[in-house]
A and B are shown apart, each in its own frame.
Chain A
Amino acid sequence: MKDKFELEALGLLRALTGDAAADFRPDQLDAIHRLVALRERVLLVQRTGWGKSAVYFIATRMLRDRDAGPTLLVSPLLALMRNQIEAAERMEVRAVTINSANRAEWEEVEKKLEEDMVDILLISPERLANQRFRNELLPTIIGRSGLLVIDEAHCISDWGHDFRPDYRRISRVLDFLPGVPLLCCTATANDRVIEDITNQLGSGLRIIRGPLARAGLRLHVLEIPSQAERLTWLADLLSKVEGTGVIYCLTVRDAQRVAEWLTSVGTQAVPYWGGLDSDDRIETEQALLSNGIKVVVATSALGMGFDKPDLSFVIHYQAPGSPIAYYQQVGRAGRELDRSWGVLLSGREDADIQDYFIHSAFPPARLAERVVSLLERRAEPVPRDVLFQWVNVRAGQLENLLKNLEVEGAIEREGNGWRRTLQPWTFDRNRVESVTAQRRTEQTQMLEYIRANGCRMRLLGSYLDDADPEPCGMCDNCTGQSLVTRFDPAIVQRAVEHLRRVELTIGPRKQWPDRKRIPEDLGLEQGRVLAVWGDSGWGTLVRSGKLEEGRFSEQLVAAAAELICARWTPEPPPTWVTSVPSLRIPNLVQDFAARLAESIRLPYKNVVEKVRDTEQQKFMQNSHQQYRNVRDAFEIQPPVPLGPVLLVDDIVDSKWTLTVVGGKLRDAGAGLVYPFALADAAGRTLS
């Protein structure tokens, strides 16, 4: 016998699903009851596809019918919730979203909110942190008490693999919201993360938790140390596997490289990373959703909220840093398919990249303390640009530092700048140490997963603290079948060449560090780089040439000549060659540039002189510091030939050396300046 509450909820579920025979999972009804009737705080840990959205849509309808204000839903990815919004409309839940992409609709949305015509407002955590939004829209929107939903709630925990500072702010706001119904959802949380969320949100949190392990997912692991062989394996698999999928890489560069490779061997593949325009990202997501492309090669930026129930495969080109991060990504495969593939390829470079991420997760104590004390001495907010002049850090590192300090309450954003808050602060060494230790443990667990002999799904389930996970019967270890193939040597050779040929462009800088435009007649033309420093392909040869032999090999001269004459062919072509001198290894670059000039039949002229020793640019971490380091270090020795010039350097990092020397060359009367470097040092930055 169903009670009145249950009948009401069930009616809504059936309207929502469009299925007159639909029934609740037991936990769904329990969660709805706790939110609506008891106004409790609920943490719902259930696998993707379990039906968490049904809980908050139905709870919203029922609360609204009981005179509550609109539901506020915070989710990191809103662009893809369109399907859910449509579903909500079937049970007369009116959903709207406010994000940076629909600014034009804000006024209308606001009006609807004022007229109480909205039942659920979907919003990103970043939007919630926006000052204008908070001052102008927030009061009307959420002035009335109602349900609060925090999607992907594991982002609150800094033990989680995906901690987001904006979520920490939300958890602090929740501190001021006793007695308001709250639903936190996640599909990836183990005991430790749940405990951390509970600690932050208070003990009143009711945890409703189901098994996270997935059925129907065939987990495989292949250790293939060499990138060329991994590319070969991918080409082979993608020519055979049906359906669409995602390939995850650890770095942006790898995502681009893999996508280019697959495209070159005839598979439609599109790269995807966080730095892309949101329009491009949405377009790629939509193309994959509608099966317009076979595979997206992505970094972890393709993450939460991406929901394609019929994804046939998720392949990892490199191993992520933790089993939970791995589970979250591989779990996207085949949620509504009977069978799908989750293949982890493990390569030689995995550990280095993971180490880099662990190492760079927290700013060094000294740097944090320096920034705080510098800000403390200024009463006015300090813009980012000024901070760069104070401290020698890379842009990404500074962003990371500022976010961390904001989370800890040491600083706050005001307008375009940052200011010290009035809260006391000390660098939290314990937090850094314990989180770092946790990351190391996870790294070990990942290795354990790769080397495991038992059921892989059961092992993942145990990392997620599932109770009594069962063997899946379909992973490589359960079935004894492996996806190992023989590598076709011809394809491997092509892959090696592909890896060597990822020449990169040098985009000319357009502004001096003070944001003043570089005049056109002093700027560089677009240039080229042969390789990535130390990378497979030519990068290894560049490194050994510089560090071991003290001379760049003939192979590199030939490769550079081939790149310049066969693939680059700048127009109008350079008529002479010069190089950037170094005081540290005096003849290295001149010697190479002269040989290169000879091989492309141009005269070599030594016109650039280094008049002051500099620090190595790689130790200068941002534009201001890099520019300051080199701006007075070079002089031009006339006479300077008039025509366009090829300006050769061994390693390009910030481009400031090339920009400064190029500007002086042009000032001295040279024609267009085409920069060329053997290697891009930016291999240090990984994403």
Chain B
Amino acid sequence: MRNEDSLATILLVSRMHSKGMQPLSAPEYWKLREVCPRPGVLLGRTEEQLVSDHGLGRKLASRIVVLLNRVRAIAFELEKLEHSGIWTLTPFDEYYSRHLQDRLRSKAPATVHAAGAIELFEKPGIGVVGSRDVSPEGAEVAKDIAAKAVELGFSLVSGGARGVDQLAMNAAFQAGGNVIGVLADSLVRNLRNPDVRRAIYEDRTVMCTPYSPETPFKVWTAMGRNKLIYALSEITVVVASGTHRGGTWSGATEALEKGFGRVGVWRGPGEGLGNNLLEERGAQPIRSIDELEAVWEVGGQDIEENSGSSSRPEQASLFEESALSGKS
């Protein structure tokens, strides 16, 4: 049987079948965890018991009772997702990345839906992010960084959006490496992409989202997704960023301010207008591809020998250009 803490977590935060209910936000969830480290004990409790035994406020207690009560409806939903190959991971599951909890703290998503090689969450990855409208030089840089990451045995972590994201992910995949895609919207729809499916069958890709698997794209979901890229990566390299605007800029500055993960910034041909400002705010400058190895500093331990580039010279693309998720 499923872990009760994990199930209770899903019931508390999931937006599936939540009509007329208020699922807990991530900060609310983590706050609850402070008074109730094992949410499984809440299952089957009445509002009275939650107030008297667990010291919860009446309003929260009544919300929680309603949320936990939808257990049968959610159970059918989870079974359907799992049958399709979409796992629902919570901090109580083995493959939920420890980095998320450690680095994002009260912002860590309480559930992550993921399809594919979920064991990649346990291996070190390098993030590559940048704007959708990237210059030709920027595109080359994104691909070179991705290839270098693979060569050094890292997974490539990115957002699956058009532009830098897809270029980097494709390059990593073609070099025979592993790819973690962190999606801002509609995991289910993205999983219909033939290239993505093929990559998953090859067991070298995991696609995940902190949102419900069918959530449509919104600006705030893109922001919420960015912090996961930073948290899942040993370091995330910003290839090209605008200044004071755009998702790349906001994501990078948020990561720098809140310490969600190490931020590196490309300082060379193809960089964006905001790159130097990011360096000023504390991002680690990278001036050539050859510097990467030293910057990443993870050299060797915990990294599996990568079977990569030489043995798989001709890999198909992970994404057809602009096939995925690309909203402009």
Binding site for B on A (CB under 8 A): 39, 67, 69, 72, 128, 134, 138-139, 142-146, 148, 169, 172-180, 202, 204, 376, 378-380, 409, 412, 420-424
Contact = CB atoms under 8 A, between A and B. Distances in A.
A69 B65 CA distance: 13
B289 interface: no
Given A39-B44, A202-B1, A412-B84, A148 B79 contact: no
Contacts of B82: 172
A351 to B, nearest CB: 38
Top-9 shortest CB links A-B = A422-B85, A176-B75, A379-B194, A142-B72, A202-B1, A423-B85, A173-B79, A139-B17, A179-B43
A175 B86 CA distance: 16
B15 to A, nearest CB: 13
Nearest to A201: B1
A177 B193 CA distance: 32
Interface in B142-196: 191-194
A147 to B, nearest CB: 10
Contacts of A72: 72
B70 A175 contact: no
A423 B203 CA distance: 10
Contacts of B72: 69, 72, 142-146, 148, 177, 180
Interface in B192-236: 192-194, 197, 200-201, 203
Given A143-B70, A145-B71, A175 B79 contact: yes
A204 B4 CA distance: 13
A144 to B, nearest CB: 5
Contacts of A412: 83-84
A179 B4 contact: yes
A178 B2 contact: yes
A651 B219 CA distance: 68
Which of B70, B83, B115, B203 has the most chain A CB atoms closer than 10 A to its own CB?
B83
A204 B40 CA distance: 16
Contacts of B71: 145, 176-177, 179-180
Nearest to A421: B85
12 contacts: A69-B69, A145-B70, A173-B79, A174-B1, A176-B7, A176-B74, A177-B71, A178-B2, A379-B192, A380-B192, A422-B197, A424-B203
Contact of B73 (A139, A380, A421, A422): A139
B248 to A, nearest CB: 29
A134 B78 CA distance: 12
A424 B202 CA distance: 10
B75 A177 contact: yes
Nearest to B196: A379
Contacts of B17: 139, 143
B44 A421 contact: no
B7 A178 contact: yes
Given A139-B17, A139-B73, A422-B200, A176 B79 contact: yes
Contacts of A143: 17, 69-70, 72-73
A179 to B, nearest CB: 5
Contacts of A169: 79, 83
A424 B203 CA distance: 9
A180 B72 CA distance: 9
B69 A142 contact: no
Given A420-B197, A422-B116, 6 more contacts: A144-B72, A176-B79, A178-B2, A180-B71, A421-B83, A422-B86
Contacts of B194: 378-379
A372 B322 CA distance: 28
A175 to B, nearest CB: 5
Interface residues of B, number: 37
A198 to B, nearest CB: 12
Contacts of B192: 379-380
A395 B94 CA distance: 42
Contacts of A146: 72
A172 B2 contact: no
B19 interface: yes
Interface in B41-94: 43-44, 46, 68-76, 78-80, 82-86
A134 B76 contact: yes
A178 B6 CA distance: 11
B178 to A, nearest CB: 16
B76 to A, nearest CB: 5
Contacts of B43: 178-179
Interface in B113-134: 115-116
B62 to A, nearest CB: 14
A131 to B, nearest CB: 9
A235 B19 CA distance: 63
A261 B325 CA distance: 66
B76 A138 contact: yes
Contacts of A174: 1, 75
Nearest to A172: B79
A670 B174 CA distance: 64
Contacts of A128: 76
A525 to B, nearest CB: 48
A142 B79 contact: no
Contacts of A176: 2, 7, 71, 74-75, 78-79
B137 to A, nearest CB: 33
A139 B79 contact: no
Given A148-B72, A178-B4, A179-B4, A376 B79 contact: no
B196 to A, nearest CB: 9
A145 B11 CA distance: 12
Which of B19, B73, B115 has the most chain A CB atoms closer than 10 A to its own CB?
B73
Contact of B1 (A69, A142, A204, A424): A204
Contacts of A178: 1-2, 4, 7, 40, 43
Contacts of B7: 176, 178
A15 B33 CA distance: 47
A144 B203 contact: no
Contacts of B203: 424
Contacts of A179: 4, 43-44, 71
A316 B76 CA distance: 40
Contacts of B78: 176
B63 to A, nearest CB: 15
A263 to B, nearest CB: 47
A72 B69 CA distance: 14
A142 B73 contact: yes
Contacts of A422: 84-86, 115-116, 191, 197, 200-201
A202 B43 CA distance: 18
Contacts of B191: 422
Interface string B5-37: 001000000000101000000000000000000
A176 B83 CA distance: 13
A409 B87 CA distance: 13
